[in-house]
Structure 1
Amino acid sequence: MIALGSSGYGPDDSQKFMSLAEELAWTCYNFYQSTPTKLAGENYFFHSGEDMSVGTSWNILRPETVESLFYLWRLTGNKTYQDWGWNIFQAFEKNSRIESGYVGLKDVNTGVKDNMMQSFFLVETLKYLYLLFSPSSVIPLDEWVFNTEAHPLRIVTRNEAEPVKNSNEKQKSFPRIGGRKEGRSG
């Protein structure tokens, strides 16, 4: 969200916020890289002069880091974010994949699995991973926003709304929903 919001500032502040977003993503990615399974724990501790350490060691397949990588990839075009996303996906494949789906880990240090696949793994985590490797023309960020459950909602401004008349009701405005723009690069 910091990366998305960075465009609302002048060049110096915009770069400052984008740099902060990139540093936060690097830290989140390193949560994954810091464990034997390459999957992040639920939280981490930071101690002055020491490496970070896993606080709560379970992983329930949360989407937030890959969501951040998706946004940063779209906003910067930096392939590093795709590489990091691929590494996280490979860690899910290696450590969380079972015959009937994916499960979380009780401990990211030992790889002991739990017995549940959270619904947000399919709806959010895998969706953001898919979009991380899709062309920017698939759900372009200047036409769509995502709600907290990663459902895309088309951006419709008041200027784009067309009045619709119904003989039984007063005139109402409804958004015009057009088809997806093809051939868009970005």
Structure 2
Amino acid sequence: MAKLFRAAIMGPPGSGKGTISKRIAQSFGLQYLSSGHFLREGTTVDPGFPRTLAQAQALNNLYQLDLVISLNIPYETLRERLSNRWIHPASGRVYNMSFNPPRVQGKDDITGELLIQHDDDKPEALMARLRHYKEVAKPVIDLYKSQGVLHSFSGTDTDKIWPYINTLFSTKMHTQPSEDCQTQTP
């Protein structure tokens, strides 16, 4: 029986976890799960799972991760991305007014419904969110580093980080062949 390849992508709010996950899924024919998928399907999941050490340890008891990617993005980049982020609540589709705007301002491209901006995406709330992320993510990152599965990527542009992640995934996928693979985005 083929072994599943399990990976997680960590990063602060606005770091590009969803974008990277979609690119991995498209490039390698994989499926990915995000906390948003679970929430839209009515499953109770802490957004960002595994975000805490206890959650990471619980996940380790169920599954051993083959790869964990940590995205390190500067505060100014995160602030800019999040302050320009608008969401279609029903589907979770994300638009960015700087580089991925909707065709009609304020409306979802597919349904035409109004987009919203979450209060916690506004600059005044972002600093508290980032402090909280750093506080709870550090022990999780340390755990995965100690297991030898953590790979960190830094930068301000997802398009510049992507080739390195693509190469890493390609290498890891060829050293651990399997039929069924999945990634998770905390």
TM-score (norm: length of structure 2):
0.23
Bigger radius of gyration among the two:
1
TM-score (norm: length of structure 1):
0.23
